[in-house]
Structures are given as C-alpha cells and as structure tokens.
A = this chain, B = another copy of it.
Amino acid sequence: MIERRHTRQVAVGSVKIGGGAPIAVQSMTNTDTRDSAATLAQITRLAEAGCEIVRVAIPHADALPGFGEICSASPLPVVADIHFDHRLAIEATRLGAAKLRINPGNIGSIDRVDAVIEAAGEAGIPVRIGVNAGSLAAEYEDRDWPLAEKLFASAVSFCEHIAGRGFEDLVVSAKASSVNATVDSYRLLANALPYPLHIGVTEAGTSLSGTVKSSVGLGILLAEGIGDTLRVSLTADPAEEVTVGWEILAALDIRRRSPELVSCPTCGRCEVDMVPIAQEVERRLRTMRTPVKVAVMGCAVNGPGEARDADVGIASGKGVGLLFRHGQVIRKVPEAEIVEALMAEVEALDRELSQGAK
C-alpha cells in the first residue's frame, strides 16, 4: 500500500481534493468556450469517460457568457482557466466557477493576483496556483537554477504571499514538459507546502508519447504518495486524457473504475489468436464498474497460474480455452466461444457484485 502525503482539503463543487479524498481525475475542454453547446457536449462525454472535474479556458471577455452557461448546465464542477487578464478570473467567480486556475507568472502584478484571490474568497471557491515552465515569471525564468527549483520557488513565493493574506484554499501545480523536472519540482513542493497538489506533465505530446511521459511522471509521484488530483495532457481527444488518467491510478492499485484485465503479450508459443480476443474483452469490460480481475492468457506457461489467480480467467492452448472462476476450472471451450464464455462468467460475477453492493 502506498502511503499518501497528508494535505489540507479543498472542495471543488461536490468533489474534494486532498486531505485523504480519492485522487480526482481532471481534463480540459478544447472546444471554443463561446460555443457553450459544443463545450457542454464535450463535458458530457468527458464525464462518461470518468472525468470528475473539468477545466475550461476563458481566453477573452467574449467567452464569459458561454462560460456562465457552461457552469449552469455542466454535470461536473467547472474550473475557470485564466491567463493574462485578471478581470476574467474575477468575472468567472460570479458566473459559477467551482475553482479558479491562474498562473501568477502571467497574470501581471501581485495586486492583480490579490484581487483575484479576494474574489475567490468572496465566492468561497479554491484557487489553483498553476506554475508552468513555458510561462515562468521573468524574475524566475532568468535565474541560473535548475528548472525544477525555478518552478518550485515561483509557486512557493506566490502561495506564501496569498497565505499571508489569509487565503489558504489553494491547490498547487508546477509542471514542465520534462518528466524529470516535473517530478523534482513536485517532490520539492510536497516537502514544503501543506496544500493539495494537482499533478501533470505539461505539453506531454501526442497520444503515445504523451501517455508514456504522463504515466512515467505521474506514476513516480503517485508511488511516492504525491498528488491529490491529476490531469494527463495529450495532444488528442481530451476523453483519452481521462482514460489514461484512470489507467495510471489502476496501474498502481490506487483507484479503479473498471475491471482489471491481465493479458499475455503472445509469443511463438501461442496457439490461439489472442490479440482480438483480448481487445474484445477489454472493450466489454470498460462499461462495468465492479472490481473484477479477468485474465486472458495464450499458453500453458503462465496461463494457468494467472487464470487461476484472477476472478475469471481463460488459459488457452491448441484452439481451446480452459475457463477458470475463482481458481477452479469450470470447463473447456473451443476458441471461437472463448470471448462469449468468458464474458458470460464475468457478467454473472459483475451482477452478483453489483447486487451485493446495493
């Protein structure tokens, strides 16, 4: 079991961050915020994928009416993301934002930061101080320090200033596109600050490299007990960010949203066509919400061991599969019936568990 760092807790609408709350999965819309219908449709898709908090950019004043409509109708708490113009952040607190995200490095003067914090305090919502390597304040950017220390120092100086004025409903992030710099900056923050941390690797790249960089970076931090909410950044459909976020939490057995699938990589020993079988099983498991463990294995080497260890498993060989449930062989099924036979057992178990939970 991973021991989590103790932090203060904040509430983002109905979702708690820090202080022992489950690690919340976030994403960000990439629709035009002025188009509230398209943005709400994307938020609904994100919620279906498992997103728990959604961030929406307010780039200009003409996005404010749309932002208000989004907050009123969104099924998820909405975080207003603001850069450059602090007045947009103040307006967002009046339009239903459940949290603000500002980057003090580009909001202008400290007076403007103070004005934003005051508005958040009046609205009773938390603020994320989101420092980013791509937009450090010049006073830090120009120092001859390692990037992680610049990110850390910038975040801490703003948090201390804000806490000094009596506002502590803070969440903190300090992201870089370098995994090593990101990990180092969060380790420093975790040691120094009592606030929950929003973790992520910024501008991580396209689906594949972004998934790997986020998994490596967030995996290292989460395994050290660091991180209270996460966002995976991908140059891709934001629903993929949510799926990857959940996969990272599942990989470390921190939180699961769907059953666990163990499947073998196949090799020259495999005598059934495993890849489509595993893919079809994975697709069907995605809609289930019980913590069942399923194994789809291709041969006699590790197959029986893993299939026996799972709640439901199949160990294949020469065109047939041995079906296991809770470690016992139930029956032998021909290759063409493996998916249906396995899923019938999984679905039966899923129904039992769902009813047990009621």
* Nearest chain B residue, comparing its CB with the CB of A212: B247
How often does this chain occur in the complex, in copies?
Answer: 2
A190-206 contact mask (Cβ, 8 Å, vs B): 1 or 0: 00000000000011111
In the complex the two chains form, what is the Cα distance from A268 to B253 in whole Å?
Answer: 33
Bound-state Cα–Cα, A296 to B206, Å: 10
A266 and B289 CA atoms in complex are apart in Å by 30
Specify the chain B residue showing the minimal Cβ separation from A81.
B267
The 8 A CB mask of A90-109 against B (1 = contact, 0 = none) is 00000000000001001000
Rounded to whole angstroms, the CA-CA distance of A295 and B133 in the bound complex is 13
A268–B32 touching, CB < 8 Å: yes
Question: Which A232-261 residues sit within 8 Å CB-CB of chain B?
Answer: 233-236, 238, 241, 243-244, 247-248, 250-253, 261
Which residues of B have CB within 8 Å of A263?
A: 203, 205-206, 210, 235
Measured between alpha carbons, how far is A235 from B106 in the docked complex, in Å? 45
A190 to B: closest C-beta gap in Å: 15
Does A183 count as interface, using CB distance less than 8 angstroms?
A: yes
A179, B251: Cβ atoms closer than 8 Å: yes
For A59, the chain B residues whose CB sits under 8 A away are: 268-269, 299
Question: A302 to B212, Cβ gap below 8 A?
Answer: no
Q: How far is the CA of A305 from the CA of B83 in the complex (A)?
A: 14
Q: Does A177 contact B262, Cβ atoms closer than 8 Å? A: yes
A9-17, A157-165, A214-222: which one contacts chain B?
A: A214-222
Contact between A302 and B209 (Cβ–Cβ < 8 Å)? no
Stretch binding the partner chain, chosen from A112-120, A273-281, A325-333, A342-350? A273-281
Whether the pair B305, A235 counts as a contact (CB closer than 8 A) is no
Other contacts beyond A28-B265, A235-B274: 8, CB < 8 A = A30-B265, A39-B268, A178-B253, A183-B223, A202-B264, A206-B279, A216-B218, A235-B279
Q: Which residues of A contact B (CB under 8 A)?
A: 2, 28-33, 39, 55-59, 63, 81, 83-84, 103, 106, 132-136, 141, 177-180, 183, 202-206, 208-213, 215-220, 223, 233-236, 238, 241, 243-244, 247-248, 250-253, 261-270, 274-275, 278-279, 282, 295-297, 299, 301-306, 309
Could you write out 10 A-B pairs with CB less than 8 Å apart?
A30-B268, A33-B268, A57-B267, A81-B268, A134-B309, A203-B263, A206-B282, A216-B219, A235-B275, A238-B265
